[in-house]
């Protein structure tokens, strides 16, 4: 199965005041060294930020070449609203930050802030709200890294994004 395949069509459940369980939109948390942690749904991503389109092709080890069209906001635009706790005027401060993205199947990946920062890599990485014209509200948002030759960093059904500094290793 390709990393781009949406997970099973399950939704988050939450108790109602009467104790019964109701289905609701799948949510994910953006946390870490931030001024304003966020809890978002795919609908929030669609409504609050400009949508970009990315037509991607990557070579999947199990299924061969995959062709998909994704729509969604830029990851950096969403994270900018969360307010990473670095001094934005200091490039070296920004370059120490990492992003860890986790999916509903437990798959996760790590990116550097410098990859998405306009002063460095300026990569148009998306938090997808739609794939091939299908909304991802029930499946959950997907991390899309258009420049990757393989799909290993495409994370399905995002459950969380952590943002934080990478301290230097201790050298002994």
Count, residues in the chain: 172
104 SS3 class: coil
DSSP at 17: T
Torsion sign over Cα 56, 152, 143, 149: negative
Q: How many CB atoms lie within 10 A of CB 27?
A: 18
pTM for this structure? Answer: 0.82
Residue-range domain boundaries for the chain: 22-164
HSE-CB for 36 with a 13 A CA cutoff: 7
Tell me the average confidence (pLDDT) per consecutive run of 10 residues in the chain, 172 residues long: 31 43 78 97 98 90 86 97 89 91 96 95 97 96 92 92 90 78
- Superfamily of 22-164 according to CATH: Oxidoreductase, molybdopterin-binding domain (3.90.420.10)
Strands 126-128, 64-72: pairing kind? unpaired
The structure tokens listed for 35 are: 């001024």
Looking at residue 149, its pLDDT comes to: 86
Residues 6+ apart with CB under 8 A from 128: 70, 71, 72, 136, 141, 142, 143, 144
Looking at residue 33, its pLDDT comes to: 96
Residues 113, 121 contacting (CB under 8 angstroms):
no
Looking at residue 23, its pLDDT comes to: 60
Looking at residue 88, its pLDDT comes to: 80
Strands 27-32, 158-165: pairing kind? parallel
Residues 4, 135 contacting (CB under 8 angstroms):
no
Q: Which of 32, 151, 11, 170 is nearest to 99 (CA)?
A: 32
């Amino acid at each position: 199965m390709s990393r781009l395949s949406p997970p099973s069509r399950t939704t988050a459940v939450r108790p109602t005041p009467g104790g019964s369980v109701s289905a609701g939109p799948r949510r994910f948390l953006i946390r870490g060294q931030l001024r304003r942690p966020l809890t978002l749904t795919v609908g929030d991503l669609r409504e609050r930020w400009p949508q970009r389109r990315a037509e991607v092709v990557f070579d999947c080890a199990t299924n061969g070449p995959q062709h998909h069209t994704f729509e969604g906001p830029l990851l950096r635009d969403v994270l900018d609203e969360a307010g990473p706790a670095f001094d934005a005027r200091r490039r070296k401060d920004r370059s120490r930050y990492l992003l860890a993205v986790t999916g509903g199947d437990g798959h996760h990946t790590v990116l550097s802030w410098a990859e998405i920062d306009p002063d460095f890599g300026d990569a148009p990485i998306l938090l997808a709200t739609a794939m091939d014209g299908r909304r991802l509200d029930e499946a959950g948002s997907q991390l899309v890294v258009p420049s990757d030759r393989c799909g290993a960093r495409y994370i399905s059904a995002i459950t969380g994004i952590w943002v934080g500094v990478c301290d230097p290793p201790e050298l002994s």
